[in-house]
Amino acid sequence: MTTVTDYLREDWSHSRFEEVDFSQSRFHNVYFQDTVIRGAWLQRVEIDGYIDDVTINGVLVGPLIEAELDRRDPDRRLVRPTDADGFRRAWSVVVRRWDAAVERARALPEDLLHERVDGEWSFIETLRHLVFATDAWVLRAVLGDPRPYHPLGLVHTEMPPDTPAVPHDPDARPSLEEILAVRTDRIGTVTRVLAELTDDRLEAMTQPVLEPGYPASESFAVRRCLGAVVNEEWLHREFAERDLADLEGRLA
């Protein structure tokens, strides 16, 4: 059996790798800013991530990838809103697509919805994280609630477990219906905020929440806060559907 060596929260910036074999390795939450790779051999490689100003063999590939993803799924264009009406349209798309994903999940045994695929969050963990994202960026940052966090919310894995005032219970196992009840409440909150959103409000800054928590006690652009939630919802739904396909394939 192959032994896997874990390197967690290491800083390899300003390093040089030469004649190094990364075969059958996994990279998760890694950063390659201002990185140069020469003489690489990429074969059967899968990369998911944010791609900007990436050149491969002399070709700037970011715009090509974005254009192809937009062609495959025209809804992607709608979740890059620029004004208040655009945010309302984007949220409608997000909710519609999540409703469809949840219906797929309901057709599976609940034990599978707690199962991680290839080390990624389970379907229920994904829903828990989206609860936390809404609590942080809408309830706290936009609405100013000093204690917005539902105990079933799941923080991102990079957050230190002792972050003040933020619940940290990665081992909780709520049922699908339990976490969907919380999700319904949070989706309703975002819907109400967006219903009242104006273009002027979108460009405004939030009032800092002075009590400890996440995000930090500072002022943020409302656009950034709402954009963070729309982006999280869209990306995590893509990840969830990818893993649902794997779980469905096992049953088939």
In the chain, where the domains are located: 78-251
Quote the pTM value. Answer: 0.89
pLDDT along the chain (252 residues), means of 10: 78 88 85 88 87 91 93 96 98 98 97 95 98 98 97 92 90 97 98 98 97 96 98 97 95 82
C-alpha–C-alpha distance, residues 139 and 147, integer Å: 9
CA–CA dist 71, 67 (Å, integer): 6
Q: Which fold has domain 78-251?
A: Four Helix Bundle (Hemerythrin (Met), subunit A) (1.20.120)
What average pLDDT does the structure give for the chain? Answer: 94
What digits encode the pLDDT tens for the residues 170-181?
Answer: 999 999 999 999
Report the distance separating Cα 3 and Cα 162, nearest Å.
31
